[in-house]
Amino acid sequence: MEYRHLGRSGLIVSVLGLGTNAFGGRADKSTSIRIIHTALDEGVTLIDTANVYCAGESEKITGEALRGRRSGAVLATKAGLPVAAGPYGQGASRRHLIEQLEKSLTALNTDYLDLFYVHTFDPTTPLEETLRTLDDMVQSGKVRYVAASNYFAWELMKALHVSELRGLVRFAGIQTSYSLADRTPEAELLPLCHDQGVGLVAYYPIAGGILSGKYLKGEVPAGSRADRDRRFAARLQKSYLALAEQVSDIAMRHGATPAALSLQWLTQRPGVSSAIVGATSVTQALDNMRAVNTPVRQDGMQELDQVSEAFITGEKFGWYRLQNQAAPD
């Protein structure tokens, strides 16, 4: 396993991180714990969860799985997306972030987080309040590094400016959707990250499994994510399925699986610190983790560049914002 710094920070993360959004849902407790232990055994250090995953079950399962193995993990969680109805159940206010941090620490059975994300931009809370709250968390020792998620480039730059202006902790990373099916970060976000020393952590690196080839010709396997989640099934659009066909063809010619090829392409992109890959079985987790060791010729990478070029513009594949915020262009 390869390890990289998260931007210019001192935090070192595995180039593949384990995503836990299926734990307590599509993956039951015992399977989820085995997946986490397998990931750690394979050299994965970054374990990524959030307070909203499976209504909080993901954090509880992750905390149980890390008993006795906490020191070998870089544990990340998030807060900001809605967890309850009403005015206090979401956002990046001091009240909400502190409340959710304490709940997450309890659920995760730990007294500190390696990385704490603001899950989405909150236009109703002054950035200085959010950043000063994060700074207090770091000063208290309960959080070691902070990051943003689902921010536009201008929102991230504004936050970095406020941090510098006020002498507050700055975002070490940004988590966003990035894959062959979503190259929109290359337009503005990645250049900003390079300039400002912010590490990019990619979610949906194989487009929720679409780039793995499991949905070729629009067929939906029983038990798959699209089978169990109608909202995700709506993403099985012609453009993504056509891209998946092309990636599968290239993978076959290069003696690799489509998922391995997609992960190789992504982790070789400049500015990417880590890619978060989920799993619902130990076999799937092992396949994903070992994909980064699959050698792929440079001409294969160039082919992938060409077939995915159209996805530099257009809609994002993954995007999670508060309801009172405008959708991305």
Residues with a known catalytic role? 53
Dist. CA 140–CA 137, nearest whole Å? 5
Dist. CA 223–CA 229, nearest whole Å? 10
Tokens found for residue 260 = 């391995």
Dist. CA 327–CA 56, nearest whole Å? 26
145 neighbors 116 (Cβ within 8 angstroms): yes
The amino acid sitting at 299 is D
Pick the closest to residue 279 from 65, 33, 76, 13 (CA basis): 33
Pick the closest to residue 93 from 122, 69, 70, 66 (CA basis): 122
3 state DSSP class of 21 = coil
39 neighbors 47 (Cβ within 8 angstroms): yes
DSSP letters spanning 63-123: HHHTTTTGGG-EEEEEE-S-SSSSTTSSSS-HHHHHHHHHHHHHHTT-S-EEEEEE-S--T
Give the DSSP H or E segment for 4: strand 3-5
Torsional class of 19: left (φ above 0), alpha (ψ -120 to 50), beta (otherwise): beta
Dist. CA 246–CA 37, nearest whole Å? 34
179 DSSP assignment: B
- At residue 275, φ and ψ (nearest 5 deg) are -120, 130
CB neighbours of residue 20 within 10 Å? 30
